[in-house]
Amino acid sequence: MARTRSFDRDAVLAAAGNAFRQHGYRDASIAELERATGLVSGSIYNAFGDKAGLFRAALEHYVHGFVRQRIAAFAGADAGLEELEQLFVSVLEPPLSDGYGCLVNNSIIEFGNAPGIASDGINETLALVRQGIASLLTREIGAAAAELEAMQLVLLYHGVLTLSRSGTSLEAMRSAVGATFDRLLAARSRHNNKQ
């Protein structure tokens, strides 16, 4: 038949995702993406159509092979507040602690709310995070307080992701996350006593 592809699609998408995470979609030039992925432009266009296609594929890879995994691990059906805290802590540790932020959070700012090449990944991620946190909190502190606390945690989450690009001390953010979860642990104790 025909020649087989010589590169690893997952590795290419991970490398492209990092380039987009660092520079944004617009400022990541094809030359930059060639360097990051090790491919030449011909191969990129052959495999992904165009720059937008590469971005879509990289974002989907990021959401399905990274965000989804972490939500499942840290906010899945058998996760508790301790695991959820690790979700927040994990964005302050490698590989996200390089100062380039989160591809989804960055894309919210770059692309906004209008339908576009990032909408699917953004909306899927927002739903995953919100629902994961909300149902975990419902189990842990009860349905009454869960919704309000969930939105506060979602906002905290995106605040951490945004300021992780600003040079703000990771340690200071880590402490703030710790304080928030100390409060939630206390709420859980009160909730368990009431029952």
State yes or no: residue 47 binds a copy of itself (CB under 8 A). no
State yes or no: residue 46 binds DNA (CB under 7 A). yes
Binding mask 15-34 for DNA (x = CB under 7 A): -------------xxxx---
C-alpha–C-alpha distance, residues 62 and 19, integer Å: 12
Residue (39 or 67) nearer to a copy of itself, CB = 67
C-alpha–C-alpha distance, residues 124 and 132, integer Å: 12
3-state secondary structure of 86: helix
3-state secondary structure of 111: helix
DSSP structure class, residue 3 = P
| Residue 166 contact, options a copy of itself, DNA, none, Cβ 5-8 Å cut-off depending on partner type | a copy of itself
**Angle of CA points 46, 110, 31, to nearest 5°:** 35
Contact 85, 157 (CB under 8 A): no
State yes or no: residue 186 binds a copy of itself (CB under 8 A). no
State yes or no: residue 170 binds a copy of itself (CB under 8 A). no
Q: Smallest gap, in angstroms, from Cβ of residue 39 to DNA?
A: 6
C-alpha–C-alpha distance, residues 75 and 87, integer Å: 8
Contacts with a copy of itself by CB under 8 A lie at 22, 24, 26-27, 99-101, 105-106, 108-110, 112-113, 122, 126, 148-149, 151-152, 154-163, 165-168, 172-173, 175-176, 179-180, 183
